[in-house]
Structure 1
Amino acid sequence: MTRQTPLRAIRGMHDLLPDDSARWQQLEDRARALLERYGYTEMRTPLVEQSELFKRSIGEVTDIVEKEMYSFEDRGGDQLSLRPEGTASCVRAAIEHSLLDQPRRIWYRGPMFRRERPQRGRYRQFHQIGVEVFGLTGPDIDLEVILLTRRLWEALGLTDLRLELNSLGDSAERAAYRQQLVAYLRQHEAQLDDDSRRRLETNPLRVLDSKNPDLAEIIAQAPSLIDALGSDSRAHFEALCAGLERAGLAYEINPRLVRGLDYYNRTVFEWITDALGAQGTVCAGGRYDGLVEQLGGRATPAVGFALGLERLLELSETEPPPSIDAYLIAVGEQANAAAMPIAEQIRDALPELRLLCHCGGGSFKSQFKRADRSGAKVALVLGDDELAQQRIGIKPLRAPASDDPTNTGPAKSEQSKTEQTSVALDALADRLPDFL
């Protein structure tokens, strides 16, 4: 039989291998614990939605909808898309299941899909954790979601992130500003690149977000949206800034920060790093007070953010805990037969223990090598003689994570760190934790 050519993952989509999954779990667990402390509850939405959901929310003339969505027609003729972001799905679900009768604090996590050019920090399947808050209008909730992100950076040990803010005002203010901006850009139309000329006709605010260095001077001299804010929008933004200052959180006002989604209004923000090259935005969000109504619900104020897990993991230097605590070795016919039932008894007695039971036979020496390679802290050694005496050996494979020098008991002695200790099987649950 001819050997087939191996298949590979789709470009821009990556396998999460076992050695990496512990770091992902650690980050997700820390984020979940923090969000629960703030009173947020988790929502999970489908990966596939009607394409119309994203056209109506993100905007038909955005790069995401025009160029990047994975869209297709299913066998029933429905136009569907893999979700490119999480907010629209959360809003759709909140409307569909009547969750907007009171203020809601919701969070989500999972993969998103955009057909972008793969590069460092940017993938075609990427993962986000996001927060959405419905039913609260004031700058205090904007402040809360930003302070929440700061606390997450502290939990992850990240120190090289900076916060940028802007206000997009309300729809009328933005419409008036758009006219000013278009008039200004028309004066420099010959110097604009093709992408910016196209945006000038469809979504001129996005010209401000251009990464073309040749346009930097033109963009820097453009009218400022903050100058076009009315009294209510200005008061909202100033109250947010004052709250950040009281909380001791440094920020920078960036009048060119517009975000890439059409549904934002008033507050927008980004957390940015210089450690990841061009893809420096780690977390971004803002208010979207009109989106619920735009998607068929009653008018409901809202604010949220999303953060990219791949980028956070690149920045984080946290080491995951070992995946295995103990490795059970069995040598001898009787011991091999009894090993699996004994492993189950140990798991019953110590529910938090991560125990790997050796399978596949092999010599005592080869099993010990596998135990050491597993990363386990101890090997549990069961032979026919130990089984006959209802005992089991505990062999430390590496030093305990933290040693208390005041503890002079046998499990913490210098001798016990390297030598095998024999204990009664019925005492193992009490003795084993001392070796971990």
Structure 2
Amino acid sequence: MSDFQAPKGVPDYLPPESGQFVAVRDGLLDAARRAGYGHVELPIFEDTALFARGVGESTDVVSKEMYTFADRGDRSVTLRPEGTAGVMRAVIEHNLDRGQLPVKLRYSGPFFRYERPQAGRYRQLQQVGVEAIGVDDPALDAEVIAVADEGFRALGLDGFRLELTSLGDDTCRPQYRELLQEFLFALDLDEDTRRRAQINPLRVLDDKRPHVREMTAAAPLMIDHLSEAARQHFDAVLGHLDALGVNYVINPRMVRGLDYYTKTTFEFVHDGLGAQSGIGGGGRYDGLMKQLGGQDLSGIGFGLGVDRTVLALAAEGKTVGETARVEVFCVPLGEPAKLVLATLAGRLRAAGVRVDVAYGDRGLKGAMRAADRSGARIALVAGDRDVEAGTVGVKALQTGEQVDVGVDDVVTDVLARLA
């Protein structure tokens, strides 16, 4: 037993199950790639102030969940808890906003939040995301949402629903904030919740505690107090989603967990996951770039949970990706056969076939057991007599049928069998 284990709340992804993780991660972003979103690779950690200013100091993410530490230069840095602030920093720093707009980017990787670990909620969570920056157009909102919707459906997931609302704009949010605070301050709130209501009253509506939800059931809702411009924007988004055939339900009580959202806000929910039902979401963040020191440009994006999507697929009894580690397993019996099969393995790999070899001079029985465990469909078996005869045994592992094939014809034979 090792003295070391993975940190609490940080999962390992191991074969063969890791094949599904890779398929989900890549599949969720394939629609974004086809829609012109370029790949961006971001730092794992950033200046702490980036997240404090960009995400919002009143959020649980900043106030309770960030992994923050001083580096050797005594600078405060934080393991990234989300992707949008880092993307925006990169766009500003590298002047991407000075070129063609919108800037359309996609990304994937680990993010870090100190939460109580449970199924679907990890301290190192895996997400994919997109950001479209620089154009305030309802059609772009709809495209971003449709890209996420298509990503889930392309994996075969169908038991989810899209919920969305509008969180208004600068012309109606201040008045709504006063209205909501007036309602909240009349309630018997605890000190922490009252402080949260003072900083960002919308955060109180996101409180999951039953007694708080009961007290706020009659709270005024942003969607009922939209400005004319915000209302027109939201109605246009709905019209584009209808045209794209994207199904949705309006959830007027939705409050995302980050402070920068404005206007269009959405979440994908799967009831098969229990309490952790959110599998992804996002929204528009019109003031974020200016807040981080850049131009006053709008943006919209999403983050989708890879881990939760895997769990959602499992809840529907579905799997994706490669479950077998290899397709062909080579069983050499002796050094001359090892050289022949290693050469054939290289040729098959060059043709796109996944091939492994029984290394370590195992006997026939042990090597064949390894072939069975590998999940391969075909075994290539050769010994000294086969080398002398210029043949290789090609065995179908499911049926046990084996035929001798000339060395020069093995690759063609195997490719035909796999096809």
Is the TM-score greater than 0.5? yes
Cα deviation per residue 1:191-236 (whole Å; 9 max; x = unaligned)? x345422312222111111111123333221112122211111100
Which residue number in structure 1 is paired with residue 267 of structure 2? Answer: 270
For the residue of structure 2 that corresponds to 1:19, the secondary structure is coil
Which residue number in structure 1 is paired with residue 130 of structure 2? Answer: 131
Using the TM superposition, give the Cα deviation of residue 248 of structure 1 relative to its aligned residue in structure 2, in angstroms. 3.4
The reply on whether 1:302 has 2:304 as its aligned counterpart is no
Which residue number in structure 2 is paired with residue 43 of structure 1? Answer: 40
Paired residues for 1:221-232 under 5 Å = 221-232=218-229
Cα deviation per residue 1:312-334 (whole Å; 9 max; x = unaligned)? 00011214322201001011343
RMSD: 1.6
Which residue number in structure 2 is paired with residue 170 of structure 1? Answer: 169
Using the TM superposition, give the Cα deviation of residue 288 of structure 1 relative to its aligned residue in structure 2, in angstroms. 0.6
Which residue number in structure 1 is paired with residue 146 of structure 2? Answer: 147
The reply on whether 1:20 has 2:17 as its aligned counterpart is yes
For the residue of structure 2 that corresponds to 1:220, the secondary structure is coil
For the residue of structure 2 that corresponds to 1:179, the secondary structure is helix
The reply on whether 1:425 has 2:407 as its aligned counterpart is yes
Do the aligned partners of 2:16 and 2:325 also contact (CA within 8 Å) in 1?
A: no
The reply on whether 1:218 has 2:215 as its aligned counterpart is yes
Out of 176-185 and 198-207, give the one that drifted further.
Answer: 198-207
For the residue of structure 1 that corresponds to 2:43, the secondary structure is coil
Cα deviation per residue 1:132-162 (whole Å; 9 max; x = unaligned)? 0012211101111111122122111112211
Paired residues for 1:87-102 under 5 Å = 87-100=84-97, 101-102=99-100
By relative contact order (CA 8 Å, sep 6+), the higher-ranking structure is 2
Do the aligned partners of 2:286 and 2:297 also contact (CA within 8 Å) in 1?
A: yes
Which residue number in structure 2 is paired with residue 234 of structure 1? Answer: 231
What amino acid does structure 2 have at the position aligned with 1:128?
Answer: Q
Tell me the distance in 2 between the aligned counterparts of 1:48 and 1:248.
39
Which residue number in structure 1 is paired with residue 118 of structure 2? Answer: 119
Tell me the distance in 1 between the aligned counterparts of 2:349 and 2:251.
55
Paired residues for 1:79-94 under 5 Å = 79-94=76-91
Which structure has the bigger radius of gyration?
1
TM-score by length of 2: 0.94
Using the TM superposition, give the Cα deviation of residue 433 of structure 1 relative to its aligned residue in structure 2, in angstroms. 1.2
2:330 pairs with one of 318, 321, 328: 328
TM-score by length of 1: 0.91
Tell me the distance in 2 between the aligned counterparts of 1:122 and 1:216.
22
Using the TM superposition, give the Cα deviation of residue 361 of structure 1 relative to its aligned residue in structure 2, in angstroms. 1.2
Identity %: 43
Cα deviation per residue 1:73-92 (whole Å; 9 max; x = unaligned)? 11111110000000001000
Tell me the distance in 2 between the aligned counterparts of 1:163 and 1:193.
33
Unpaired runs of at least 5, structure 2: none
For the residue of structure 2 that corresponds to 1:163, the secondary structure is strand
What amino acid does structure 2 have at the position aligned with 1:335?
Answer: A
Do the aligned partners of 2:24 and 2:320 also contact (CA within 8 Å) in 1?
A: no
Tell me the distance in 1 between the aligned counterparts of 2:302 and 2:4.
36
Tell me the distance in 1 between the aligned counterparts of 2:198 and 2:49.
22
Tell me the distance in 2 between the aligned counterparts of 1:254 and 1:202.
24
Which residue number in structure 2 is paired with residue 204 of structure 1? Answer: 201
Tell me the distance in 1 between the aligned counterparts of 2:124 and 2:112.
5
What amino acid does structure 2 have at the position aligned with 1:181?
Answer: L
Tell me the distance in 1 between the aligned counterparts of 2:347 and 2:332.
15
Unpaired runs of at least 5, structure 1: 399-416
The reply on whether 1:256 has 2:247 as its aligned counterpart is no
Change (3 A) 1:195 1:372: same
Which residue number in structure 2 is paired with residue 413 of structure 1? Answer: none
What amino acid does structure 2 have at the position aligned with 1:125?
Answer: Q
Change (3 A) 1:244 1:34: closer
